[in-house]
Amino acid sequence: MTEGFLLLVEIVLFAALLLAVRRASQGPRSTNLGIFSYRSSEDEASDVKVAKGVNKRA
Give me the residues that bind another protein (CB under 8 A), please: 2-4, 6-8, 10-11, 13-15, 17-22, 24-25, 28-31, 33, 35-42, 44-45, 47-49, 51
Q: Confirm if 12 and 34 have CB atoms less than 8 A apart.
A: no
Nearest distance from residue 23's CB to another protein, in Å? 10
Of residues 28 and 57, the one with the C-beta less far from another protein: 28
Q: Give the count of alpha carbons within 13 A of 20, CB side only.
A: 15
For residue 3, give the H/E element and its range: helix 2-24
Nearest distance from residue 17's CB to another protein, in Å? 6
